Structure 1
Protein backbone atom coordinates (compact mmCIF):
# COMPACT_ATOMS: atom_id res chain seq x y z
CA UNK A 1 0.00 0.00 0.00
CA UNK A 2 1.45 3.38 -1.04
CA UNK A 3 1.64 5.98 1.73
CA UNK A 4 0.52 9.54 0.89
CA UNK A 5 3.27 12.10 0.41
CA UNK A 6 3.39 15.76 1.43
CA UNK A 7 3.36 16.82 -2.20
CA UNK A 8 0.16 14.89 -3.05
CA UNK A 9 -2.88 17.08 -3.92
CA UNK A 10 -5.12 17.56 -0.86
CA UNK A 11 -8.33 16.91 -2.83
CA UNK A 12 -7.04 14.10 -4.95
CA UNK A 13 -6.05 14.12 -8.64
CA UNK A 14 -7.14 17.15 -10.65
CA UNK A 15 -9.37 17.10 -13.69
CA UNK A 16 -8.28 15.03 -16.63
CA UNK A 17 -6.75 16.63 -19.71
CA UNK A 18 -9.99 16.38 -21.66
CA UNK A 19 -12.36 17.94 -19.13
CA UNK A 20 -11.00 21.49 -19.45
CA UNK A 21 -11.81 21.54 -23.14
CA UNK A 22 -15.28 19.99 -22.81
CA UNK A 23 -17.02 23.34 -22.31
CA UNK A 24 -15.36 25.01 -25.31
CA UNK A 25 -16.22 21.97 -27.41
CA UNK A 26 -19.86 22.12 -26.32
CA UNK A 27 -20.00 25.86 -26.97
CA UNK A 28 -18.46 25.39 -30.41
CA UNK A 29 -20.90 22.56 -31.14
CA UNK A 30 -23.93 24.70 -30.24
CA UNK A 31 -22.61 27.64 -32.26
CA UNK A 32 -22.02 25.50 -35.33
CA UNK A 33 -24.14 26.28 -38.36
CA UNK A 34 -26.10 23.16 -39.25
CA UNK A 35 -26.00 21.66 -42.72
CA UNK A 36 -29.49 22.20 -44.22
CA UNK A 37 -29.12 19.11 -46.40
CA UNK A 38 -31.86 16.61 -45.54
CA UNK A 39 -33.58 19.25 -43.41
CA UNK A 40 -36.64 18.48 -45.48
CA UNK A 41 -37.02 15.30 -43.39
CA UNK A 42 -37.62 17.45 -40.30
CA UNK A 43 -40.17 19.55 -42.18
CA UNK A 44 -41.98 16.43 -43.40
CA UNK A 45 -42.23 15.32 -39.77
CA UNK A 46 -43.74 18.75 -39.08
CA UNK A 47 -46.46 17.92 -41.61
CA UNK A 48 -47.39 14.89 -39.50
CA UNK A 49 -47.57 17.17 -36.44
CA UNK A 50 -49.74 19.64 -38.35
CA UNK A 51 -52.19 16.95 -39.43
CA UNK A 52 -52.25 15.52 -35.92
CA UNK A 53 -53.04 18.87 -34.29
CA UNK A 54 -55.40 20.29 -36.90
CA UNK A 55 -57.61 17.22 -37.22
CA UNK A 56 -58.05 16.83 -33.47
CA UNK A 57 -58.47 20.60 -32.96
CA UNK A 58 -61.16 20.88 -35.62
CA UNK A 59 -63.00 17.91 -34.13
CA UNK A 60 -62.86 19.20 -30.52
CA UNK A 61 -62.46 22.99 -30.78
CA UNK A 62 -64.06 23.55 -34.19
CA UNK A 63 -61.13 25.52 -35.65
CA UNK A 64 -57.72 24.93 -37.16
CA UNK A 65 -54.52 25.65 -35.26
CA UNK A 66 -52.04 25.52 -38.15
CA UNK A 67 -53.73 25.91 -41.55
CA UNK A 68 -55.16 29.40 -41.42
CA UNK A 69 -57.03 29.40 -44.75
CA UNK A 70 -59.96 27.54 -43.23
CA UNK A 71 -59.87 29.79 -40.17
CA UNK A 72 -60.06 32.87 -42.39
CA UNK A 73 -63.20 31.46 -44.02
CA UNK A 74 -64.77 30.72 -40.62
CA UNK A 75 -63.80 34.18 -39.34
CA UNK A 76 -65.25 35.90 -42.41
CA UNK A 77 -68.52 34.01 -42.11
CA UNK A 78 -68.73 34.99 -38.47
CA UNK A 79 -68.46 38.66 -39.39
CA UNK A 80 -71.67 38.44 -41.42
CA UNK A 81 -73.50 36.51 -38.74
CA UNK A 82 -73.40 32.97 -37.33
CA UNK A 83 -75.02 31.07 -34.49
CA UNK A 84 -71.85 29.49 -33.09
CA UNK A 85 -68.58 30.80 -31.67
CA UNK A 86 -66.30 29.09 -34.18
CA UNK A 87 -65.41 32.44 -35.75
CA UNK A 88 -64.07 33.69 -32.41
CA UNK A 89 -61.86 30.62 -32.02
CA UNK A 90 -60.69 31.01 -35.61
CA UNK A 91 -59.88 34.67 -35.01
CA UNK A 92 -57.84 33.77 -31.91
CA UNK A 93 -55.98 31.11 -33.89
CA UNK A 94 -55.19 33.54 -36.71
CA UNK A 95 -53.95 36.15 -34.21
CA UNK A 96 -51.78 33.57 -32.42
CA UNK A 97 -50.27 32.36 -35.69
CA UNK A 98 -49.53 35.90 -36.92
CA UNK A 99 -47.96 36.87 -33.59
CA UNK A 100 -45.88 33.71 -33.65
CA UNK A 101 -44.68 34.45 -37.19
CA UNK A 102 -43.48 37.87 -36.06
CA UNK A 103 -41.72 36.49 -32.96
CA UNK A 104 -40.02 33.48 -34.57
CA UNK A 105 -38.91 35.51 -37.60
CA UNK A 106 -37.51 38.26 -35.35
CA UNK A 107 -35.65 35.63 -33.31
CA UNK A 108 -34.03 34.12 -36.40
CA UNK A 109 -33.10 37.59 -37.67
CA UNK A 110 -31.56 38.59 -34.34
CA UNK A 111 -29.21 35.58 -34.29
CA UNK A 112 -27.51 33.49 -36.99
CA UNK A 113 -30.58 31.67 -38.27
CA UNK A 114 -29.02 28.26 -38.89
CA UNK A 115 -26.90 27.96 -35.78
CA UNK A 116 -27.59 24.77 -33.87
CA UNK A 117 -28.62 26.46 -30.63
CA UNK A 118 -30.96 28.85 -32.49
CA UNK A 119 -32.88 26.02 -34.17
CA UNK A 120 -32.92 24.03 -30.92
CA UNK A 121 -34.26 27.05 -29.03
CA UNK A 122 -36.93 27.69 -31.65
CA UNK A 123 -38.27 24.14 -31.49
CA UNK A 124 -37.88 24.01 -27.73
CA UNK A 125 -40.23 27.02 -27.45
CA UNK A 126 -42.65 25.22 -29.76
CA UNK A 127 -42.44 22.13 -27.56
CA UNK A 128 -43.12 24.15 -24.42
CA UNK A 129 -46.14 25.85 -26.01
CA UNK A 130 -47.69 22.51 -27.01
CA UNK A 131 -46.84 21.01 -23.60
CA UNK A 132 -48.49 23.90 -21.76
CA UNK A 133 -51.59 23.56 -23.94
CA UNK A 134 -51.60 19.81 -23.29
CA UNK A 135 -51.30 20.44 -19.54
CA UNK A 136 -54.30 22.80 -19.57
CA UNK A 137 -56.37 20.32 -21.56
CA UNK A 138 -55.30 17.47 -19.28
CA UNK A 139 -56.31 19.38 -16.14
CA UNK A 140 -59.65 20.77 -17.34
CA UNK A 141 -60.61 18.35 -20.16
CA UNK A 142 -62.83 20.73 -22.20
CA UNK A 143 -65.39 18.85 -24.31
CA UNK A 144 -66.76 19.64 -27.76
CA UNK A 145 -69.78 21.33 -26.20
CA UNK A 146 -67.80 23.28 -23.60
CA UNK A 147 -68.65 27.00 -23.45
CA UNK A 148 -66.14 29.50 -24.76
CA UNK A 149 -63.60 30.22 -22.02
CA UNK A 150 -59.90 30.66 -21.39
CA UNK A 151 -59.61 26.86 -21.06
CA UNK A 152 -60.26 26.70 -24.80
CA UNK A 153 -58.84 29.98 -26.07
CA UNK A 154 -55.48 29.86 -24.25
CA UNK A 155 -54.38 26.40 -25.46
CA UNK A 156 -55.79 27.21 -28.90
CA UNK A 157 -53.67 30.37 -29.08
CA UNK A 158 -50.57 28.55 -27.78
CA UNK A 159 -50.76 25.81 -30.38
CA UNK A 160 -51.41 28.31 -33.20
CA UNK A 161 -48.47 30.43 -31.99
CA UNK A 162 -46.02 27.55 -32.13
CA UNK A 163 -47.28 26.33 -35.52
CA UNK A 164 -45.82 29.42 -37.16
CA UNK A 165 -42.36 28.35 -35.97
CA UNK A 166 -42.46 25.43 -38.40
CA UNK A 167 -43.26 27.73 -41.32
CA UNK A 168 -40.45 30.11 -40.36
CA UNK A 169 -38.05 27.13 -40.10
CA UNK A 170 -38.85 26.16 -43.70
CA UNK A 171 -37.57 29.59 -44.79
CA UNK A 172 -34.48 29.26 -42.60
CA UNK A 173 -33.64 25.86 -44.11
CA UNK A 174 -34.39 27.15 -47.63
CA UNK A 175 -37.22 24.69 -48.27
CA UNK A 176 -39.81 27.37 -48.96
CA UNK A 177 -42.32 24.91 -50.40
CA UNK A 178 -42.50 22.85 -47.18
CA UNK A 179 -44.16 25.34 -44.86
CA UNK A 180 -46.05 22.46 -43.14
CA UNK A 181 -49.16 24.65 -42.84
CA UNK A 182 -50.59 24.62 -46.38
CA UNK A 183 -51.19 22.04 -49.11
CA UNK A 184 -53.08 23.94 -51.83
CA UNK A 185 -49.95 25.24 -53.57
CA UNK A 186 -48.29 21.84 -53.16
CA UNK A 187 -51.23 20.12 -54.86
CA UNK A 188 -51.00 22.62 -57.72
CA UNK A 189 -47.23 22.23 -58.18
CA UNK A 190 -47.38 18.45 -57.79
CA UNK A 191 -50.13 17.76 -60.32
CA UNK A 192 -49.09 20.44 -62.80
CA UNK A 193 -45.57 19.06 -63.16
CA UNK A 194 -45.01 17.85 -66.76
CA UNK A 195 -43.47 14.58 -65.59
CA UNK A 196 -46.07 13.76 -62.94
CA UNK A 197 -47.59 10.85 -64.87
CA UNK A 198 -44.24 9.42 -65.94
CA UNK A 199 -41.51 7.50 -64.16
CA UNK A 200 -39.25 10.55 -64.46
CA UNK A 201 -41.00 12.11 -61.48
CA UNK A 202 -39.01 9.78 -59.19
CA UNK A 203 -35.85 11.65 -60.12
CA UNK A 204 -37.30 15.04 -59.12
CA UNK A 205 -36.43 15.65 -55.47
CA UNK A 206 -38.89 18.54 -55.26
CA UNK A 207 -41.75 16.38 -56.52
CA UNK A 208 -40.89 13.62 -54.05
CA UNK A 209 -40.95 16.20 -51.24
CA UNK A 210 -44.37 17.46 -52.35
CA UNK A 211 -45.79 13.94 -52.45
CA UNK A 212 -44.21 13.24 -49.06
CA UNK A 213 -45.84 16.38 -47.63
CA UNK A 214 -49.29 15.23 -48.75
CA UNK A 215 -48.81 11.72 -47.36
CA UNK A 216 -47.33 12.94 -44.07
CA UNK A 217 -50.16 15.39 -43.48
CA UNK A 218 -52.69 12.66 -44.28
CA UNK A 219 -50.96 10.33 -41.82
CA UNK A 220 -51.10 13.02 -39.15
CA UNK A 221 -54.79 13.65 -39.82
CA UNK A 222 -55.57 9.95 -39.41
CA UNK A 223 -53.63 9.81 -36.14
CA UNK A 224 -55.34 12.97 -34.88
CA UNK A 225 -58.72 11.58 -35.81
CA UNK A 226 -58.01 8.38 -33.91
CA UNK A 227 -57.01 10.38 -30.83
CA UNK A 228 -60.03 12.68 -31.11
CA UNK A 229 -62.46 9.75 -31.29
CA UNK A 230 -60.82 7.95 -28.37
CA UNK A 231 -61.43 8.43 -24.67
CA UNK A 232 -58.14 10.35 -24.43
CA UNK A 233 -59.25 12.90 -27.02
CA UNK A 234 -57.36 16.11 -27.73
CA UNK A 235 -55.10 15.51 -24.75
CA UNK A 236 -53.48 12.52 -26.44
CA UNK A 237 -52.91 14.43 -29.68
CA UNK A 238 -51.26 17.34 -27.87
CA UNK A 239 -48.93 15.18 -25.80
CA UNK A 240 -47.99 13.18 -28.91
CA UNK A 241 -47.19 16.42 -30.74
CA UNK A 242 -45.09 17.62 -27.79
CA UNK A 243 -43.15 14.36 -27.87
CA UNK A 244 -42.48 14.71 -31.61
CA UNK A 245 -41.40 18.32 -31.14
CA UNK A 246 -38.94 17.30 -28.42
CA UNK A 247 -37.58 14.65 -30.78
CA UNK A 248 -36.88 17.42 -33.33
CA UNK A 249 -34.98 19.39 -30.65
CA UNK A 250 -32.81 16.33 -30.07
CA UNK A 251 -32.34 15.85 -33.81
CA UNK A 252 -30.95 19.39 -34.19
CA UNK A 253 -28.52 18.72 -31.34
CA UNK A 254 -27.00 15.81 -33.27
CA UNK A 255 -27.48 17.19 -36.80
CA UNK A 256 -24.42 17.37 -39.02
CA UNK A 257 -22.74 20.74 -38.93
CA UNK A 258 -21.85 22.64 -42.05
CA UNK A 259 -18.50 21.60 -43.54
CA UNK A 260 -18.12 18.84 -40.94
CA UNK A 261 -16.70 15.51 -42.00
CA UNK A 262 -19.11 12.59 -42.06
Structure 2
Protein backbone atom coordinates (compact mmCIF):
# COMPACT_ATOMS: atom_id res chain seq x y z
CA UNK A 1 0.00 0.00 0.00
CA UNK A 2 1.56 3.32 -0.97
CA UNK A 3 2.35 5.81 1.76
CA UNK A 4 -0.25 8.47 2.46
CA UNK A 5 0.41 12.17 1.70
CA UNK A 6 3.74 11.28 0.14
CA UNK A 7 5.34 10.53 3.51
CA UNK A 8 8.49 8.45 3.40
CA UNK A 9 8.48 5.09 5.03
CA UNK A 10 9.66 5.14 8.61
CA UNK A 11 12.62 2.93 7.71
CA UNK A 12 13.87 5.39 5.10
CA UNK A 13 13.52 8.32 7.51
CA UNK A 14 15.55 6.50 10.15
CA UNK A 15 18.21 5.68 7.58
CA UNK A 16 18.55 9.30 6.50
CA UNK A 17 18.85 10.40 10.16
CA UNK A 18 21.65 7.93 10.72
CA UNK A 19 23.47 9.10 7.59
CA UNK A 20 23.09 12.76 8.58
CA UNK A 21 24.40 12.07 12.09
CA UNK A 22 27.36 10.17 10.65
CA UNK A 23 28.22 13.01 8.28
CA UNK A 24 28.09 15.59 11.09
CA UNK A 25 30.31 13.41 13.29
CA UNK A 26 32.83 12.91 10.47
CA UNK A 27 32.94 16.64 9.76
CA UNK A 28 33.39 17.55 13.41
CA UNK A 29 36.34 15.16 13.79
CA UNK A 30 38.02 16.44 10.64
CA UNK A 31 37.27 20.12 11.27
CA UNK A 32 37.57 20.98 14.96
CA UNK A 33 35.47 23.83 16.18
CA UNK A 34 37.59 26.99 15.81
CA UNK A 35 35.75 28.60 18.69
CA UNK A 36 36.43 25.87 21.23
CA UNK A 37 39.10 28.01 22.97
CA UNK A 38 36.62 30.83 23.33
CA UNK A 39 34.50 28.60 25.55
CA UNK A 40 37.53 27.62 27.66
CA UNK A 41 38.75 31.20 28.24
CA UNK A 42 35.76 32.28 30.34
CA UNK A 43 36.17 29.12 32.42
CA UNK A 44 39.78 30.02 33.28
CA UNK A 45 38.70 33.59 33.99
CA UNK A 46 35.98 32.37 36.29
CA UNK A 47 38.46 30.17 38.16
CA UNK A 48 40.84 33.13 38.54
CA UNK A 49 38.02 35.34 39.75
CA UNK A 50 36.96 32.70 42.27
CA UNK A 51 40.52 32.43 43.60
CA UNK A 52 40.77 36.21 43.97
CA UNK A 53 37.46 36.37 45.81
CA UNK A 54 38.47 33.51 48.08
CA UNK A 55 41.81 35.16 48.87
CA UNK A 56 40.07 38.45 49.54
CA UNK A 57 37.60 36.83 51.93
CA UNK A 58 40.50 35.05 53.66
CA UNK A 59 42.46 38.26 54.22
CA UNK A 60 39.43 40.27 55.31
CA UNK A 61 38.28 37.69 57.85
CA UNK A 62 38.26 38.48 61.57
CA UNK A 63 40.54 36.11 63.45
CA UNK A 64 39.71 34.11 66.51
CA UNK A 65 41.44 35.30 69.68
CA UNK A 66 41.49 31.77 71.09
CA UNK A 67 45.09 30.73 71.85
CA UNK A 68 46.40 34.12 70.64
CA UNK A 69 47.93 34.53 74.10
CA UNK A 70 50.71 32.19 72.95
CA UNK A 71 51.62 34.72 70.26
CA UNK A 72 51.73 37.48 72.87
CA UNK A 73 54.04 35.39 75.06
CA UNK A 74 56.48 35.38 72.13
CA UNK A 75 56.14 39.18 72.04
CA UNK A 76 57.14 39.32 75.72
CA UNK A 77 60.23 37.27 74.88
CA UNK A 78 61.23 39.56 72.01
CA UNK A 79 60.59 42.71 74.06
CA UNK A 80 62.92 41.48 76.80
CA UNK A 81 65.63 40.59 74.29
CA UNK A 82 65.46 43.91 72.48
CA UNK A 83 65.33 46.06 75.61
CA UNK A 84 68.37 44.29 77.06
CA UNK A 85 70.29 44.64 73.79
CA UNK A 86 69.22 48.24 73.20
CA UNK A 87 70.14 49.35 76.70
CA UNK A 88 73.57 47.80 76.31
CA UNK A 89 74.06 49.49 72.92
CA UNK A 90 72.30 52.85 73.41
CA UNK A 91 71.74 53.28 77.19
CA UNK A 92 67.99 53.55 76.64
CA UNK A 93 65.05 51.25 76.07
CA UNK A 94 63.01 50.70 72.94
CA UNK A 95 59.99 49.04 74.55
CA UNK A 96 59.81 50.04 78.21
CA UNK A 97 58.93 53.73 77.97
CA UNK A 98 58.66 54.29 81.74
CA UNK A 99 62.44 54.01 82.02
CA UNK A 100 62.92 56.33 79.04
CA UNK A 101 60.62 58.91 80.62
CA UNK A 102 62.75 58.88 83.78
CA UNK A 103 65.95 59.18 81.73
CA UNK A 104 64.50 62.14 79.81
CA UNK A 105 63.46 63.82 83.06
CA UNK A 106 66.94 63.32 84.56
CA UNK A 107 68.42 64.92 81.46
CA UNK A 108 66.86 68.23 82.50
CA UNK A 109 69.30 68.24 85.43
CA UNK A 110 72.18 66.85 83.35
CA UNK A 111 71.97 63.52 85.14
CA UNK A 112 73.25 60.84 85.40
CA UNK A 113 76.63 62.49 85.83
CA UNK A 114 78.51 59.75 83.95
CA UNK A 115 76.26 60.05 80.88
CA UNK A 116 76.97 62.32 77.89
CA UNK A 117 75.25 65.69 78.09
CA UNK A 118 72.81 64.91 75.28
CA UNK A 119 72.14 61.30 76.21
CA UNK A 120 68.56 62.27 77.12
CA UNK A 121 67.81 62.78 73.41
CA UNK A 122 67.90 59.00 72.95
CA UNK A 123 65.12 58.50 75.49
CA UNK A 124 63.06 61.37 74.08
CA UNK A 125 63.45 59.93 70.57
CA UNK A 126 62.33 56.52 71.79
CA UNK A 127 59.24 57.90 73.55
CA UNK A 128 58.09 60.00 70.59
CA UNK A 129 58.71 57.19 68.10
CA UNK A 130 56.72 54.83 70.32
CA UNK A 131 53.87 57.34 70.57
CA UNK A 132 53.87 57.77 66.78
CA UNK A 133 53.83 54.02 66.20
CA UNK A 134 51.02 53.51 68.68
CA UNK A 135 48.91 56.21 67.02
CA UNK A 136 49.48 55.00 63.45
CA UNK A 137 49.14 51.27 64.07
CA UNK A 138 46.14 51.54 66.39
CA UNK A 139 44.43 53.82 63.85
CA UNK A 140 45.07 51.23 61.15
CA UNK A 141 43.52 48.50 63.28
CA UNK A 142 40.47 50.57 64.19
CA UNK A 143 39.79 51.81 60.67
CA UNK A 144 40.47 48.57 58.79
CA UNK A 145 39.31 46.12 61.45
CA UNK A 146 40.76 45.36 64.86
CA UNK A 147 41.14 41.62 64.24
CA UNK A 148 41.32 41.54 60.45
CA UNK A 149 43.80 38.98 59.19
CA UNK A 150 45.59 41.29 56.75
CA UNK A 151 45.91 44.05 59.38
CA UNK A 152 47.61 41.75 61.90
CA UNK A 153 49.87 40.41 59.16
CA UNK A 154 50.75 43.96 58.09
CA UNK A 155 51.42 45.01 61.69
CA UNK A 156 54.05 42.33 62.28
CA UNK A 157 55.46 42.60 58.77
CA UNK A 158 56.10 46.32 59.36
CA UNK A 159 57.80 45.46 62.65
CA UNK A 160 60.09 43.02 60.85
CA UNK A 161 60.96 45.53 58.09
CA UNK A 162 61.82 48.32 60.55
CA UNK A 163 63.94 45.93 62.59
CA UNK A 164 65.66 44.87 59.37
CA UNK A 165 66.68 48.46 58.64
CA UNK A 166 68.04 48.81 62.17
CA UNK A 167 70.09 45.61 61.97
CA UNK A 168 71.52 46.75 58.63
CA UNK A 169 72.75 49.96 60.30
CA UNK A 170 74.26 48.02 63.19
CA UNK A 171 76.05 45.55 60.92
CA UNK A 172 77.36 48.33 58.69
CA UNK A 173 78.81 50.03 61.79
CA UNK A 174 77.08 53.31 60.97
CA UNK A 175 75.55 53.17 64.44
CA UNK A 176 76.46 51.74 67.84
CA UNK A 177 76.13 48.06 68.54
CA UNK A 178 77.65 45.37 70.65
CA UNK A 179 80.05 43.94 71.38
CA UNK A 180 82.24 47.01 71.08
CA UNK A 181 85.65 46.71 69.45
CA UNK A 182 88.72 48.94 69.75
CA UNK A 183 88.02 50.19 66.22
CA UNK A 184 84.50 51.11 67.19
CA UNK A 185 85.66 52.80 70.41
CA UNK A 186 88.07 54.97 68.43
CA UNK A 187 85.28 55.94 66.01
CA UNK A 188 82.98 56.88 68.88
CA UNK A 189 85.73 58.97 70.45
CA UNK A 190 86.17 60.89 67.19
CA UNK A 191 82.43 61.50 67.01
CA UNK A 192 82.43 62.81 70.57
CA UNK A 193 85.22 65.23 69.81
CA UNK A 194 83.74 66.48 66.54
CA UNK A 195 80.05 66.55 67.31
CA UNK A 196 80.03 67.05 71.03
CA UNK A 197 77.09 64.67 71.40
CA UNK A 198 79.01 61.97 73.23
CA UNK A 199 77.56 59.30 70.94
CA UNK A 200 76.95 58.83 67.21
CA UNK A 201 73.97 60.97 66.21
CA UNK A 202 72.85 58.21 63.86
CA UNK A 203 72.07 56.12 66.94
CA UNK A 204 68.79 58.02 67.05
CA UNK A 205 67.67 56.34 63.80
CA UNK A 206 67.66 52.70 64.97
CA UNK A 207 66.30 53.81 68.33
CA UNK A 208 63.35 55.45 66.57
CA UNK A 209 62.80 52.48 64.26
CA UNK A 210 62.89 49.92 67.05
CA UNK A 211 60.66 51.98 69.34
CA UNK A 212 58.11 52.48 66.56
CA UNK A 213 57.93 48.76 65.87
CA UNK A 214 57.73 47.91 69.58
CA UNK A 215 54.42 49.74 69.77
CA UNK A 216 52.96 47.26 67.28
CA UNK A 217 53.14 44.44 69.83
CA UNK A 218 51.18 46.18 72.56
CA UNK A 219 48.69 47.49 69.99
CA UNK A 220 48.12 43.89 68.87
CA UNK A 221 47.55 42.79 72.49
CA UNK A 222 44.93 45.51 72.91
CA UNK A 223 43.16 44.71 69.64
CA UNK A 224 43.08 41.02 70.53
CA UNK A 225 41.53 42.07 73.89
CA UNK A 226 44.32 40.54 75.99
CA UNK A 227 44.71 43.67 78.11
CA UNK A 228 46.40 41.76 80.89
CA UNK A 229 49.31 40.99 78.53
CA UNK A 230 50.85 44.34 77.53
CA UNK A 231 53.95 42.57 76.06
CA UNK A 232 56.38 45.42 76.79
CA UNK A 233 56.03 46.28 80.48
CA UNK A 234 55.79 44.26 83.69
CA UNK A 235 54.81 46.73 86.44
CA UNK A 236 51.07 46.29 85.91
CA UNK A 237 51.55 42.52 85.52
CA UNK A 238 53.38 42.35 88.87
CA UNK A 239 50.52 44.21 90.55
CA UNK A 240 47.80 42.16 88.85
CA UNK A 241 49.46 38.89 89.81
CA UNK A 242 49.83 39.75 93.49
CA UNK A 243 46.39 41.37 93.80
CA UNK A 244 44.61 38.42 92.17
CA UNK A 245 42.21 36.99 94.79
CA UNK A 246 42.62 33.58 93.15
CA UNK A 247 46.42 33.68 93.12
CA UNK A 248 46.76 30.45 95.08
CA UNK A 249 43.63 28.76 93.79
CA UNK A 250 42.88 26.79 90.66
CA UNK A 251 45.95 24.63 90.84
CA UNK A 252 48.51 24.87 88.07
CA UNK A 253 46.06 25.25 85.19
CA UNK A 254 42.79 26.46 86.71
CA UNK A 255 43.63 30.19 86.88
CA UNK A 256 44.26 31.07 83.24
CA UNK A 257 44.51 34.84 83.76
CA UNK A 258 47.16 34.41 86.46
CA UNK A 259 49.11 31.98 84.30
CA UNK A 260 49.14 34.38 81.33
CA UNK A 261 50.60 37.16 83.45
CA UNK A 262 53.15 34.88 85.07
CA UNK A 263 54.05 33.54 81.64
CA UNK A 264 54.60 37.09 80.39
CA UNK A 265 56.96 37.86 83.29
CA UNK A 266 58.93 34.66 82.75
CA UNK A 267 59.19 35.22 79.00
CA UNK A 268 60.27 38.86 79.36
CA UNK A 269 62.93 37.93 81.90
CA UNK A 270 64.13 35.03 79.75
CA UNK A 271 64.31 37.32 76.74
CA UNK A 272 66.34 39.89 78.66
CA UNK A 273 68.80 37.18 79.78
CA UNK A 274 69.17 36.00 76.18
CA UNK A 275 69.56 39.59 74.96
CA UNK A 276 72.35 40.20 77.44
CA UNK A 277 74.08 36.95 76.51
CA UNK A 278 73.91 37.83 72.81
CA UNK A 279 75.16 41.36 73.47
CA UNK A 280 78.32 40.01 75.13
CA UNK A 281 78.87 37.37 72.47
CA UNK A 282 80.27 37.56 68.95
CA UNK A 283 76.73 37.97 67.60
CA UNK A 284 76.14 41.20 69.50
CA UNK A 285 73.02 43.33 69.26
CA UNK A 286 72.67 42.36 65.60
CA UNK A 287 72.09 38.75 66.66
CA UNK A 288 69.20 39.85 68.86
CA UNK A 289 67.67 41.86 66.03
CA UNK A 290 67.94 38.96 63.58
CA UNK A 291 66.14 36.65 65.99
CA UNK A 292 63.46 39.29 66.41
CA UNK A 293 63.01 39.55 62.64
CA UNK A 294 62.65 35.77 62.26
CA UNK A 295 60.09 35.57 65.07
CA UNK A 296 58.05 38.49 63.77
CA UNK A 297 57.96 37.10 60.24
CA UNK A 298 56.93 33.76 61.74
CA UNK A 299 54.09 35.47 63.61
CA UNK A 300 52.97 37.27 60.45
CA UNK A 301 52.92 33.92 58.64
CA UNK A 302 51.04 32.40 61.54
CA UNK A 303 48.28 35.00 61.21
CA UNK A 304 47.87 33.98 57.57
CA UNK A 305 46.99 30.45 58.67
CA UNK A 306 45.15 31.40 61.87
CA UNK A 307 41.61 30.16 62.44
CA UNK A 308 38.80 32.52 61.49
CA UNK A 309 36.45 33.83 64.15
CA UNK A 310 33.30 31.73 64.42
CA UNK A 311 29.77 33.08 64.62
CA UNK A 312 29.50 32.01 68.26
CA UNK A 313 32.72 33.85 69.15
CA UNK A 314 31.56 36.94 67.34
CA UNK A 315 28.18 37.01 69.06
CA UNK A 316 29.75 36.19 72.42
Provide TM-score, normalisation by structure 2.
0.76
Residues 92 and 122, structure 2, Cα contact 8 Å, conserved in 1: yes
How far is 1:16 from its partner? 8.7
Aligned residue in 2 for 1:57: 86
Residues 201 and 207, structure 1, Cα contact 8 Å, conserved in 2: no
Q: Is 1:236–2:316 an aligned residue pair?
A: no
How far is 1:200 from its partner? 3.5
Aligned residue in 2 for 1:38: 67
Q: 1:4 to 1:172 in 2, by over 3 A?
A: farther
Coordinate RMSD, CA, aligned:
2.4
Provide TM-score, normalisation by structure 1.
0.90
Q: Is 1:142–2:193 an aligned residue pair?
A: no
How far is 1:138 from its partner? 1.3
Q: Which sits farther off after the overlay, 97-106 or 139-148? A: 139-148
Residues 176 and 200, structure 2, Cα contact 8 Å, conserved in 1: no
Residues 137 and 151, structure 1, Cα contact 8 Å, conserved in 2: no
Larger Cα-atom Rg: 2
Deviations 1:42-73 (A, max 9, x none): 11110011011001111111111001111111
Q: 1:127 to 1:5 in 2, by over 3 A?
A: same
Q: Which runs of at least 4 in structure 1 moved beyond 6 Å after TM superposition?
A: none
How far is 1:3 from its partner? 8.7
Q: Distance in 2 between matches of 1:123 and 1:55?
A: 21
Alignment counterpart, residue 96 of structure 2, candidates 67, 70, 75: 67
Aligned residue in 2 for 1:124: 157
Aligned residue in 1 for 2:120: 87
Q: Which sits farther off after the overlay, 84-93 or 143-152? A: 143-152
How far is 1:112 from its partner? 1.4
SS of the residue 2:251 aligns to: helix
How far is 1:241 from its partner? 0.6
How far is 1:107 from its partner? 1.3
Q: Distance in 2 between matches of 1:119 and 1:196?
A: 32
Structure 2 segments unaligned to the other structure (5+ residues): 1-28, 189-197
Count of aligned residue pairs for this structure pair: 260
Alignment counterpart, residue 133 of structure 1, candidates 136, 144, 166: 166
Deviations 1:168-189 (A, max 9, x none): 1111100111111110111111
Structure 1 segments unaligned to the other structure (5+ residues): none
Which structure shows the higher helix fraction?
2
Q: Is 1:179–2:238 an aligned residue pair?
A: no
Aligned residue in 2 for 1:21: 50
Deviations 1:80-139 (A, max 9, x none): 113424322111111111111111111112211211111111111111111111111111
Aligned residue in 2 for 1:225: 276
Q: Distance in 2 between matches of 1:202 and 1:191?
A: 17
Q: Distance in 1 between matches of 2:269 and 2:33?
A: 72
Alignment counterpart, residue 206 of structure 2, candidates 155, 163, 182: 155
